[in-house]
Every structure is written in structure tokens, then in C-alpha cells.
Amino acid sequence: MAVLQKLRTKFGLAISIIVALGLLSFIIDPGQIQSAMQSMSSKYDVGNIAGKSVSYNDFQQDIERYTAISELMSGTSVKSEAEQQQIRNAAWQELIDRFLFIKNAKSAGIKVGEDELVALTHSDMVSPVLASNPVFCDEAGNYDPSRLADLVQTISLDPSGNMQLYWNYIQQSLNTQQYYTKYGALLNASAYQNPLMLRKSIEENNATTDVDFVMIPYTFAEDTSIVVSDAEIKAYYDAHKKFYKQVANRDIEYVVFEVVPSQKDIDETSAKMDAAVADFAVADNMKNFLVKNSDRALDNYWYKEGELVTVSPDINEFAFQNAVEAVSPVYKSGNTFRAAKILASEMRADSVFVKHILLQNDSESKADSLAGVVNAKNFSDVAVLYSADQSSAADGQVGSIGWMTQSYMIPGMESVLDAEINKPFVLKTQYGTHVVLVTEKTKPVLKKQVAILEKTAIASNETFNTMYAKANKFATIANGSLSNYNAAVDSLGTYSHPLQHVIEGTSTYGAIDNAKEVTRWIFDAKKAGKVSDVITVNQNYFFVVALKDIHKEGLADVNSLASSIRQEIYAEKLAEKTAAKVADQIKGLTTLEEIAEKLGTTVSSQSGVTFASLGSAALDPKFVGAASVAPINQLSAPVAGAIGTYVFMVKGRDNGSFYTEEDAAAYQDRKNQYNAQMLTNVMMDDAEVVDHRARFF
């Protein structure tokens, strides 16, 4: 037992279960143990790719590795749910690539060699993995192979192992991307269009038809004489089963109680705001004051008139009608209170044109020397000789970064907005030491710096408890059953939200995000008719959920589809009946005008109808198909279309030349792009990839 206790301490519950099962093997049939282990294992698998099970623990390690890589690349920690979702998707895609795509590519005879990977880092065939990575690009966004070399050289000097982790990721990405490139080339080559196919495509796209027609639309009122039997529904279902595959989903209803600030909470916030305004008006250290008293930090941005409207139209108007040191009244918008103080007012340029000479691994004295000799006329020549950035040439001259604004600014170069024109100076950024020259400025406009004191009313504990009590009362009445749930809805006058086909990945209900707790309860419930206890979401929503129906993964049940299938069959029968009725009504008539008069409608005309890919998209497909092959000047039989029945006469055909070989090639390229986009999806479908990530994340 001491050994078992140590295992529990070190490895947790999972290993304890395994050891316990091992002990039980002395008294339980081994076949039963194997079955139990397989069931337990699959339950905690994130998925299965081409026969390879992906356990939760292994996938979590992949996520942690990708999280570390993301933080290395961005310099910030991963926080938002969207960022975490992107990382999980990247980790999953790597598994798809490793266990499925690359395996299939190799089976197709594709190989990627070491020399090839090396060439992708420095030759004229640089991989987009490197060329699009800002880590390996200079200030102008151009790939710089020396930056990759610097990374590789620092690996042995990095005790944290982060550089090795990142380099492994780069090598893996280069390898995978090259397999995709080669497989895509193979796929495109297989879509070869021979001269006969090309000629036929051009002919079909240039062939147009001019047609006169009469159309009798189907009525919206149901024709009760048309009967669709259960046997017909079953036969239709059997013939179209491949269209009825579904993922596991649930039908639910739910009520939600939102915690919002009470009037008392709002009044208390208003009182706190009024008390803070007096100190706000005389604060010596505005930055510290706002950190302690405001929901909004100090912003050093220089606003021109109109830009503060996104914060508050009232504050925007106040700021540009009052002088420095003026303090506004308190403005209320929803549950938010704001007041503003004008800190500064200047006529300032919106944009400045900036030139620079970038020095790396050089002394400041060299920068000072260059600043003493450069001017607007010789700046480009000096930049050619000394600047590490030879790519910036916004006006055609080396060294010209271009126009900069407060919003479009290289970090560390903010001082250029206040610089004198044609007066060189030196500054430092993360890229190195810069000799900078501002050569132009836009016309100055009035701008203001404004401090904003902001407080938003939030629900108090008292309000939170009151709303939870309402939700709990509802759940108590519901008492776990659907009939009681409906009774609670009626007795308490609460609105119940119906929702069908909730899947395991659902995390949003209405406008409420990050509600995965609700989905987990829905899929953990094993029987329809169950009702949840109170489920708290985001600390300000209380859900009570009723599970109405369970739809398992696989083929949808014919009964759940009966209504939609009945409508499909009804539409087909209605079209056939209408076409037969029209044929009987127009028997013996020889012109469209006579037919139109008989049917109480008019003759319409359509020119340039084509059966090919470019035109006639808005017309009924069955009508287009029939008109494209019908004889000229011959009255057609009634054609049962999708929206009505047609009788038509082709008046003429034309073979133009507007569709060219270039058009055909462009169309083929679009098809190739679509095929490439669908490639892994088709492979995943063929390999029956199972993705259960939604159970865990």
C-alpha cells in the first residue's frame, strides 16, 4: 500500500486506477479488464487521426508547446479565449499534418530532402514560412537571412531552451509547408486541361441563347390533393442517406437570468463619481489619480476634433469648446459615467515624413557624427553607405521610411512627431540606433490631450444574490423534469429560449459568450427530459437548461427529417402536376402569345442565356438547361422548373468571343485553389478522423 500511495502522490488519480486494475486482475477476467481500459481510454481521448489515438494529456502538452512558441513570437502571454482557440487549432493541425497529410504525401511519392530545406532558408526559393515571419524580417518587412543565422547561433547560448524550441518549430513548419507545396503542384498538374477540353470550355462559355418564354409560378397555398406517404419518405431517405450524416447534437430550451446593476448600484456609482470629480479637477499626478479612481487610464494621445466621439460625443464637444484646465460636467451613457479635463491644446501636424539611417552594433559617436553632416540633399547618399536598412525607400530614395502618424508609428520613434523639419537627430529603438530627419509635415490642426475620469456601475453582491435567488427558485420548481420546467416558465412568466442542434463545440448562447459550462451539462446528461440546476456563466448569467432531445452521431433519424423530406417530395409532385396541367390547358395552341392569354400571364424574353459557368445564375437551372439544347423556333413542351413551369421558344443562338483562353485558365486556377483548400478535409473524411476537442475545451 505504501507503493500505491507514492504513485498516487506522484501521478494522481489516473495511475492509481491503473494500478488498482492491475491488482484486480488476480480476481477478474483479463478480457473484462481490457474492455474497461479501452472504454476509459477512448473516453479521455481528444480524437483519433488515421488510427492514431490522441490522448488529452498528449494534446495538452502540444498546446503548452504551442503556447510557449506563441509567447516567444509575440512577446506577450496568451490570455484571450480567441488566442487559446487559435493555439489549440494549430496544435490539432500539426497532428493532422503529421499523422495524415505527410503520410499521404509520402505515399504519393513526394519527398522533402535536407538540402532542399536548407535551400528554403537562403536561396531565391525562400519559404513563405520565413518570408512572412516578422522575426526574420528587417524594418521594411523584407526577409533577412542573417536574422535566421543569428537565431541558430544563439541556440547553444540559451539555457532556457526557448530558442531550441522555436528553431524546432521553424524546421517542422518548413518541412510541412514544402510537402503542401509539392502536393499542391501534383494536384494542379493532375487537373490538366488538354486542347480539346479547352476548346470545348471556350465554345460552351461563348454560346448564348435568346429565348421567349411564359412562366407559371407555383402557388404558396398547399395543394391538399397531393399526398406524400410514409413509404415515399422512407424511400427518399434511403436514396439520399449520404446527405443526412450528422454530428452529435441536442435540442434544448433554456432560461437565463442576467445579473445587471440595480438602480441602487447605479445611484451609488453616480455618487462616487460626483465625489471624485472635485479631486480630479485639481489632481497633480493625473496618471496615478486615474489608476486609483477610474476605469480608464491616462491617454497621451493628441485628439483632433471628432476623434473623441467614439468615447463620448459630449466629451468631444466639450473638449473643443473649452480651454486648457477646464473640467466637464459628469456625462452619463448607459451605466457609465464620465468627466473630462483638458490637459493640453496645440496646433499639431497629423503626419510627418521620416528618413533614417539605421546603425547596428555601432557606437553612438558614429551616429552623432553622421547627424552632424547629413541634410535633406545628401541623406539618401549617406544612407546607401551606412544604413543597415537598404529597403526603406518610400519616395524612391534609400532611407525614406515615409509618412508616420500617431497610429502608424515604429515603436520608439514617437518623438519624430515633435521634431523640427530638416534638423537631424539621434534616437534608439529595439532595432538599433537611428539618425533621423523629418523633411515634411502636414498642415497643423488643433489637437487636445484629454484626461477622462470614467466609472461604470457594476452589480453589487446584494444584486448578485437577488438574481441568483430568482434562478434558484426557477430551478427548484423545475426540480429536474421537463414538465416541471414548463410549469415554472408559466408560473414565473419567464421566457424560455428554444434551441435546436446544439453541438459539442457550442460556446455561445444568444449574445452570451464563453458558456461552455452549459454545453458540458447538455452533453453529460444521458437522458432527454432532464433539467439542470443553476449553471453560472461569466459570473453574471444564471442558466437553467432543459434537454428535450438527443441526436447521436451518424445518420439522422428518418423521423426527425420527415417534415423536410415531405416538403421536398411535395415540391416535386407539385411541379409535375403543374406541368401536366399546363400541357393539358395549352393543347392545340401554337404561339406563346396564345399560351400567355390562355394562362392569364405575359410573354417574357431573355437574351444571352448560357449553360456554362459565367452567366444565367439568376435563372431557373432546369429552364436554362432545356433552353440551351432546344431547337430554334420550336415551341417547347412544359418544363417543370424549381420555381414554376415554363413554356418557351428559342429565337436564336450566338457564338461570341468574349470568353478567352485567359478566362478559361483563370477559371481552372480558381478550381485548383478550391481543391487545395479542400485537400485536408477530404483526407480527414476518408480517414474517418474523430475530433472530440469540444468535450475538453
Q: How far is CA 81 from the centre of its chain?
A: 13
Q: Over 60: is that where the pLDDT of 588 sits?
A: yes
User: What average pLDDT score do residues 601-616 get?
Assistant: 79
pLDDT for 246-287, tens place per residue? 999 999 999 999 999 999 999 999 999 999 999 999 999 999
Is 653 in contact with 609 (CB distance < 8 Å)?
Answer: no
Quote the CA–CA distance of 583 and 645 in Å, as a whole number: 10
Q: Return the minimum-mean-pLDDT range out of 41-50, 185-194, 363-372.
A: 41-50
Q: Over 90: is that where the pLDDT of 11 sits?
A: no
Q: Where do we find the cell 473640467?
A: 327
Residue 405's identity, in one-letter code, is: T
C-alpha cell at 4: 500505491
The pLDDT of residue 5: 37
Q: Which of 5-14, 121-130, 272-281 has the highest mean pLDDT?
A: 272-281
Quote the CA–CA distance of 453 and 312 in Å, as a whole number: 12
Beta-carbon-side half-sphere exposure of residue 322 (alpha carbons within 13 Å): 18
Q: Over 90: is that where the pLDDT of 28 sits?
A: no
Mean pLDDT rounded to a whole number for the chain: 89
pTM above 0.85, yes or no: no
User: Taking CA 670 as the corner, what is the angle to CA 667 and CA 672, rounded to the nearest 5 degrees?
Assistant: 110
- Closest C-alpha to 518, from 693, 690, 694: 694
User: What average pLDDT score do residues 419-445 get?
Assistant: 94
Q: What distances in angstroms separate CA 489 from CA 100, 350, 436, 471, 515, one per listed residue?
A: 50, 58, 70, 11, 22
Quote the CA–CA distance of 566 and 238 in Å, as a whole number: 14
Residue 219's identity, in one-letter code, is: T
pLDDT for 628-640, tens place per residue? 899 999 999 999 9
User: What average pLDDT score do residues 574-596 get?
Assistant: 96
Q: Over 50: is that where the pLDDT of 33 sits?
A: no
Could you tell me if residue 402 is left (phi over 0), alpha (psi between -120 and 50 degrees) or otherwise beta? left
**What is the enclosing helix (H) or strand (E) of 55?**
strand 52-55
pLDDT for 133-173, tens place per residue? 888 887 777 888 888 888 888 888 888 888 899 999 999 99
pLDDT for 480-538, tens place per residue? 999 999 999 999 999 999 999 999 999 999 999 999 999 999 999 989 999 999 999 99
The pLDDT of residue 617: 54
pLDDT for 335-378, tens place per residue? 999 999 999 999 999 999 999 999 987 678 899 999 999 999 99
The pLDDT of residue 39: 43
Query: What count of other Cβ atoms lies within 10 Å of the Cβ of residue 428?
Result: 13
Q: Can you point out the beta strands (E) in 482-576?
A: 497-503, 535-537, 541-551, 554-555
The pLDDT of residue 183: 95
The pLDDT of residue 153: 84
Quote the CA–CA distance of 697 and 694 in Å, as a whole number: 5
Quote the CA–CA distance of 44 and 54 in Å, as a whole number: 9
Strands 425-429 and 432-441: antiparallel
Q: Over 50: is that where the pLDDT of 23 sits?
A: no
Q: What distances in angstroms separate CA 524 from CA 14, 273, 591, one per listed residue?
A: 20, 46, 67
User: What average pLDDT score do residues 528-556 get?
Assistant: 96
The pLDDT of residue 15: 33
pLDDT-derived band at 21, boundaries 50, 70, 90: very low
pLDDT for 397-418, tens place per residue? 999 999 999 989 999 999 999 9
Strands of the sheet with 644-655, listed across from one edge? 604-609, 207-217, 644-655, 639-640
Rounded to whole angstroms, the maximal C-alpha distance in the chain is 103
The pLDDT of residue 658: 84
C-alpha cell at 681: 478535409
- Closest C-alpha to 319, from 690, 327, 5: 327
Query: What count of other Cβ atoms lies within 10 Å of the Cβ of residue 377?
Result: 8
pLDDT-derived band at 38, boundaries 50, 70, 90: very low
Give Cβ neighbours of residue 305 (< 8 Å, ≥ 6 apart): 316, 320, 446
pLDDT-derived band at 224, boundaries 50, 70, 90: very high
The pLDDT of residue 150: 84
pLDDT-derived band at 124, boundaries 50, 70, 90: confident
